[in-house]
Amino acid sequence: MTDTIGVGLVGCGTIGEALARAIVDGQGGSAALRAVYDRDQDRARTVARFSQSKVCPSVEAMLDEASVGLVIEAASQSAATECARLALNRGRSLLIMSTGALLIGDTFSELARLARERNVSLAVPSGAIGCLDTLRAVRAGLERVILTSTKRPEALRGAPGFAAWESKKIEKPVLVYEGPAGAAVRQFPANVNVAASVSLAGLGPDRTIARVVADPAAPGNVHELVASGEFGEFTARFVNRPSQANPKTSQLAILSALEALRGVCDGRVRVGS
């Protein structure tokens, strides 16, 4: 019988609550939600009520809970790095949802090193896209990677990179950003975490090209990946259903996080393994 892994959830917004409900429903493998934290304590209490978990006043307090062996970060890019450092330094495994934070400076290499030193797992879900295993397989021969993310304008509102378009009526597809993936995740922190996942699997944040398109007729959150090199070329297109609670989030991102969580529970996802 697989031992239960106690989970501490940081961030109880759209993604965090969805993950919590899925864990309670048994979709997280041997994971069991033990503690929750959110700066908005009302949101934390909402999740705690249906999951029968403990509300913590801080991430540090959560890590004081002996029952928490794995931390799921589902907060924001701005909070992700500090949360990750705290969890890994305290010897807790980590599943990080705000993957855009990994492209800031040497964050990814730092966290990977901490995970190896503490002998814990660092899980990075693929998010709202697939084919990352193929990108990793051909990385040595990659020459070009372009990711085009298309969303409806309302899903992009509030992003720094969309500021110039906020007051404009968009009636047809408009390219609102094209450039390095590393800059894209800063300009659209709640929209293109997928660009970070693609970058980490392939050419890195500076050589991976990200394009963000606002399209009022978009059938969902659409991500199109084109990669080429000495191996040949492949393309992939994902049309994801947005979360009903938050159009910035694809339902596939939540499902991929659950698969990553099951992998951690099974011991299948490890840094340096």
Q: Which H or E run includes 175?
A: strand 174-180
- Residue among 91, 124, 120, 119 nearest 107 (CA): 124
Question: Do the domains spanning 5-127+252-266 and 132-246 agree at the CATH topology level?
Answer: no
- Paired tokens of 48: 């705690």
Catalytic site residue 223? yes
**DSSP β-ladder status, 221-229 and 142-151:** antiparallel
What pLDDT digit, counting tens, does each position of 212-236 carry? 999 999 998 999 999 999 999 999 9
| Rounded-to-integer distance, Cα 219 and Cα 225, Å | 17
Q: What is the pTM of this model?
A: 0.84
> What mean pLDDT do residues 97-102 have?
89
Give CA separation, 268 vs 47, 53, 239, 245, 262, in Å: 28, 26, 28, 31, 8
Task: Give the pLDDT of residue 39.
Answer: 94
Task: Give the pLDDT of residue 1.
Answer: 41
Contact 187, 98 (CB under 8 A): no
- Residue among 197, 198, 149 nearest 176 (CA): 149
Q: Which of 223, 240, 243, 249 is catalytic?
A: 223
CB atoms within 10 A of CB 93: 24
Region 5-127+252-266: CATH code? 3.40.50.720
Pick the CATH number of 132-246 from 3.30.565.10, 3.30.479.30, 3.40.1260.10, 3.30.360.10: 3.30.360.10
What pLDDT digit, counting tens, does each position of 122-143 carry? 988 887 888 898 999 999 999 9
What pLDDT digit, counting tens, does each position of 12-69 carry? 998 899 999 999 999 988 999 999 999 999 999 999 999 999 999 999 999 999 999 9
Domain boundaries, the chain: 5-127+252-266, 132-246
| Rounded-to-integer distance, Cα 114 and Cα 106, Å | 12
Contact 123, 95 (CB under 8 A): yes
Q: Which of 42-46, 77-81, 86-90 has the lowest mean pLDDT?
A: 77-81
Q: What does the mean pLDDT of the chain come to? A: 90
| Rounded-to-integer distance, Cα 255 and Cα 237, Å | 17
| Rounded-to-integer distance, Cα 155 and Cα 191, Å | 8
Residue 268 has pLDDT above 60, yes or no: no
Task: Give the pLDDT of residue 240.
Answer: 86
Let me know how many helices (H) and strands (E) the chain has, helices first.
Answer: 10, 11
